[in-house]
Amino acid sequence: MKTQRTSESRPNLKFLENALLAVLALSLITPLLVPAQGFTPLPNPIKNACDNFLPNLFNPNVWLLNEALGSHSIFVASDNLLFPRAFDLVCYEGHPSLADEIRMSVNQNPCCNQANDSMHEAVFGLPIPLPIHTANLYNVNSTWRNYCCYSSYSNYTVYYENHNGTGILSDAVYGDVAAYTALELEREGNQTAALREIAILNWMYDGRGIADDVYRYGSPGERGMYQTFKDALYLLALTETGQRIPTGLEKTILSMQGQDGGFHTGYNLEGNYTGTEENVETTTLSMLALHSVPAHIYIEGAIYFNITGTGSVRAVKTNIWFFNLENWTVDVDVTAYWDNTTEIIGSEHITDVTNTAQSGGACYHCNAFFTHNVTFDPSISHFLRIYAGNSSTVQLVYRAPYMPTAPPSSAPYWYPLLGAVIATTVLLLVYKRKRTRDARTQRLANLSTARIWLTPKAVRKRLRRSVKAD
């Protein structure tokens, strides 16, 4: 059974919460994750979860998924709320009717508000009330409609968990509460407040996982164990708010996947998940988080293009080949633009792009073919700007013909001579002015010396001569 959280189920660490919030106001720095070591992810991990692990949890007596393999507990929320919507978003093959069957089972039982629980639906962009409250757990086994009587599935209990309690779950204590709060605030358009929640998550994230109060001060089974679903929610919140993803966070989540496609609930400081189970909540949230990350796309260099027609409007055709460099299944938006304009040659949404070296999936070596009429000027070069996932490139499609330009005309031959004459004249004038000023200065000095023996009349006479000489 899932651990129940209350607002009083931990030591009184209010002073730590206040100190944390003061620090968070100063920084939104995301730490780097130590990459998971020594593991090889499964080929097509999302597809493995969709086709293998999750369908094997189906209980035909109640048309719901059991919490985990071998478990006799069934949770309407969150497990059977998350699964149908996650299945619709990221699973394309395999069991196409399974999500519809579970959705119908949930909708036909009026007990459980269509499995909404005022918290988990935030991952699908549905509104939830804030702040998030503590949960009440209801046993709805007696009222849940049975569909059949498979003896091997007969020993089970159906629960409905709803966050309608009177207590408040603190986002400074629980990493998942901070993530769900960030998703709701982003949905409301309040990104400033959403980024404050991201700052809390960044502070909790220690490079290996979310080290919240459960990790630090929880019960003996929880203390020192990172919880995978919190890593997944952290990744979801980062992608939804457009923030940088720490290096290796995706690989850490991938390293928690078992051979049957399910994701383990937790791991220790060394990244070891031994002794933990795989369950619905952790697996569906991990699938959604990995699917939300922009594809690591490689666009092949030899892009086909062709321009036909004459005049100022011509037809452009292009065929773009690309593939995903990573190990999980994603969707990719491919768009091509004409020159440095907003004119779109073509745009296509391609689903299920997988690694070329792997089998399975709808598209291993993908291409997008576009044709469009564009404004064409033969006197200038033209190019395509191509975007696929998080990759982009520029392809030159037309090079303007070479038009040689006339060399610059040389200056007339007499330009240097004129310059020399002007420079010489200026120098002579400067020299003459200097000689005149020096001579006058010397006469005034001589006159000053002679004052001691000349009469006033003789001084005036000499001054007049000096002025006339000047």
Per-residue pLDDT band for 359 (boundaries 50, 70, 90) equals very low
Higher pLDDT, 118 or 247: 118
Asked whether the beta carbons of 57 and 69 are under 8 A apart, the reply is: yes
Going by C-alpha positions, the residue among 166, 142, 169 that lies closest to residue 156 is 142
Per-residue pLDDT band for 454 (boundaries 50, 70, 90) equals low
Going by C-alpha positions, the residue among 333, 326, 305, 328 that lies closest to residue 317 is 305
Q: With a cut of 70, say whether residue 409 has pLDDT above it.
A: no
Q: Tell me, what amino acid is at 248?
A: G
Q: With a cut of 80, say whether residue 447 has pLDDT above it.
A: no
- 189-223 as b/e: b if 16+ CB within 10 A: eeeeebbbbbbbbbbbbeebbbbbbbbbebeeeee
Global pTM value: 0.65
What's the whole-number mean pLDDT along residues 399-405?
A: 80
Number of neighbouring beta carbons within 10 Å of residue 155:
8
| CA–centroid distance for 394 within its chain | 23
Q: What is the three-class DSSP state of 143? A: coil
What's the whole-number mean pLDDT along residues 264-282?
A: 96
pLDDT of residue 142: 86
Minimum mean pLDDT range among 3-17, 200-214, 258-272, 278-292 = 3-17
Q: With a cut of 50, say whether residue 29 has pLDDT above it.
A: no
Q: With a cut of 90, say whether residue 154 has pLDDT above it.
A: no
High-pLDDT (> 70) share of the chain, %: 76
Per-residue pLDDT band for 413 (boundaries 50, 70, 90) equals low
CA dist 290 → 5, 83, 283, 286, 333 (Å): 27, 15, 11, 6, 16
High-pLDDT (> 90) share of the chain, %: 49
Going by C-alpha positions, the residue among 315, 198, 311 that lies closest to residue 245 is 198
Q: With a cut of 70, say whether residue 174 has pLDDT above it.
A: yes
pLDDT of residue 226: 98
pLDDT of residue 341: 87
Per-residue pLDDT band for 15 (boundaries 50, 70, 90) equals very low
Higher pLDDT, 291 or 218: 218
Please report the DSSP string for 153-177 in residue order. G-S-EEEEEE---SSB--TTT-HHH
pLDDT in tens, 73-100: 999 999 999 999 888 888 766 677 889 9
CA dist 455 → 123, 458, 465 (Å): 112, 5, 16
Minimum mean pLDDT range among 56-65, 129-138, 191-200, 424-433 = 424-433
> What's the chain's average pLDDT?
82
pLDDT in tens, 33-50: 344 444 556 667 787 888
> Rounded to an integer, what distance in angstroms lies between the CA atom of residue 127 and that of residue 16?
30
Phi-psi bin for 339: left (phi > 0), alpha (psi -120 to 50), beta? left
pLDDT of residue 26: 43
